[in-house]
Structure 1
Amino acid sequence: MSELPLARRDQIAGRLSAGQAVIAAALATEFSVSEDAIRRDLRALAAEGRCRRVYGGALPMAGGVIPMAARIGQDRERKLALARTAARSIARGEFLFLDSGSTNLALVERLPDDFDLTIATNGIDIAAAVLHRQDLRLIVIGGSVHAAVGGCVDTDALIQVQRFNIDRCFIGACAVSAQGGISAVDPTDAAFKRTLLSLSRISVAMVTNEKLETRAPHRIASAKSISQITVEHDAPAARLALLRRAGATIATAAPPE
């Protein structure tokens, strides 16, 4: 019995995000659908910036990282649902760090009003969004901008962030799994995230379904070392069970509005 098209597409996207090449004929057999259906999936994923089409299948984006500009418009309502749940734990007067990423960008809209919050970020788009919130104080981490990451993760950025005592860090993750933990595709980005975690009292990762039980080359931290992993309302139960057995603390978001 074939899977629903969106569920199938999410599974294919997860493999591409983990750096795997995919072959249309093999996917058609696995999912019991026609190669034309798989090619439609791959065309849609390529249009979203998630893969590069090649003859017979698709490859991950160069370097394994989907450019930030391509990620901003993807799955907006799903990311807002994650952000709505994650924002509920924020306390008045906290010093927050929003790591560069499209889901953390969605969080800016969900931050509570007039909570005396200070926001530090290395993300260019996040900084611009925070600037439009008159009730938030903004600190921008500078340096050379990594276009795929969408922010600064170089040595200058690392030096600047080490001056902070962070109450709550929202960490970006390229992949999350029970065995591989939280991981990233880019080694410089991973090093920056590890430093962020070491400086943060509380850490939160908001994770869309396609990232669950996938792996990226550079490990950031174990799943149990993150204070809270926020997942979607329909996250696969089997994958969540693996994470919980690995010691992860899971919060499940409500469905998108």
Structure 2
Amino acid sequence: MHDHPPLPSGRRQQIASRLVRGQAVVAAALAQEFRVSEDAIRRDLRALAQDGVCQRVYGGALPLSPASTPIAVRSAEDGARKRALAQAAAKLIRKGQTIFLDTGSTTLRLAELLPQDCGLRVVTNSVPAAAALMGRSDLSLIMVGGGVNPTVGGCVDARALAELGRFRFDLCFLGACALSVRDGLGGFDMDDVEVKGRLLELSAATALMMTNAKIGTAAPFAIGPVTGIAHLVLEHDAPTEAVLALRAAGSDVRIAEAPPRSAPAPSALTPDPSVT
């Protein structure tokens, strides 16, 4: 507790620092901690949301997901962790299935790891995923067309949405920018979110690979509740509280193995054995 309530600017800065560190905040708890009214806290959260620090949710705020950057940037981030998620997710695939690979940097890793000689029919709207699978003669590849959204890395316009209606999927590997047990899945692009919502309707089962950085965060547009996802694949060190809450909600939560540690970079002082 504070001896004296901080000034509004100081209080707001303290709340912002927590959100930037990835912490969700509850208005009632903040009001008690800072000894101000909940209305004052709600004004703080509105201002922080306008500044792009958080997403307002009922009773408080969630930090914004870091997954708002273009696909070209995200594909280069956390490669080993995303590969570990993809390896765990690949175990869900069965012979002869029709699967959908959504846009996203983690589903791209899965495209690179699809099992061989399983008679798969792979449908995707992801340009990088389609490119990764073009050389595979052991599966059938179908690209959902339309205008390419360079930030998303695939086709998510009205034409793509219409084409999806021609399919039924045994298993969809969905992409999402944010996950909250209470507030569900979210995304940053309205067209992309509409496509994802349609995929949930067309798929017998849906799987979602989620990095730790997206758990407990929000994005402006809602995809759907967590209960709409049959399989959740999380990192080896996913927050225990989130894992327990997701399992309590009825999700099949699968934990990926820890990625191998990268070899340390050689020291500048280490002699080069090729030099004599």
Please give the TM-score of this superposition, normalised by the length of structure 1: 0.75
Partners of 1:177 and 1:243 within 8 A in 2 = no
Q: Note the C-alpha offset of 1:142.
A: 0.8
2:243 corresponds, among 240, 243, 251, to 240
**Gaps in structure 2 of 5+ consecutive residues:** 1-18, 25-51, 53-63, 261-276
Q: Give the secondary-structure state (helix, strand or coil) at the position aligned to 1:129.
A: helix
**Structure 1 residue 132, shift from structure 2 partner:** 2.4
User: Which residue of the partner structure matches residue 36 of structure 2?
Assistant: none
Q: Does 1:175 align with 2:178?
A: yes
> Could you tell me which residue of structure 2 aligns to residue 35 of structure 1?
none
**Higher helix residue share:** 1
Whether 1:129 and 2:132 are equivalent positions in the alignment is yes
**Which aligned pairs between 1:1-257 and structure 2 lie closer than 5 A?**
12=20, 65-257=68-260
> Contact 2:65–2:177 at 8 Å: present in 1 too?
no
Q: Distance in 2 between matches of 1:14 and 1:108?
A: 30
- Give the Å deviation of 1:247: 3.0
Distance in 2 (alpha carbons) for counterparts of 1:141 and 1:216: 25
In the alignment of these two chains, the number of paired residues is 205
CA 1:156–1:246: 2 relative to 1, 3 Å: same
Q: Secondary structure at the match of 2:192?
A: helix
Instruction: Report the counterpart of residue 8 of structure 1 in structure 2.
Output: none
Cα distance between partner residues in 1 of 2:75 and 2:249: 31
Unaligned runs of 5+ in 1: 1-10, 19-50, 52-59
* Amino acid aligned to 1:118: R
SS in 2 for 1:255: coil
Q: Which has the larger radius of gyration?
A: 2
CA contact (8 A) 2:180 2:218 kept: yes
Equivalent AA in structure 2 for residue 236 of structure 1: P
- Partner deviation per Cα, 1:62-102 (whole Å, 9 max, x = no partner): 9x721011111111111110011111111001011000110
Check the 8 A contact 2:174/2:206 in 1, yes or no: yes
What amino acid is the match of 1:207?
M
Q: Answer yes or no: is the 8 Å Cα contact 2:96–2:118 preserved in 1.
A: yes
The alignment yields a C-alpha RMSD, in angstroms, of: 2.3
- In structure 2, the CA distance between the partners of 1:12 and 1:135, relative to structure 1 (3 Å rule), is farther
Structure 1, residues 110-159: CA drift from partner, whole Å, max 9, x if none? 21111011111101101100112232211001111111111011100001
Percent sequence identity over aligned pairs? 43
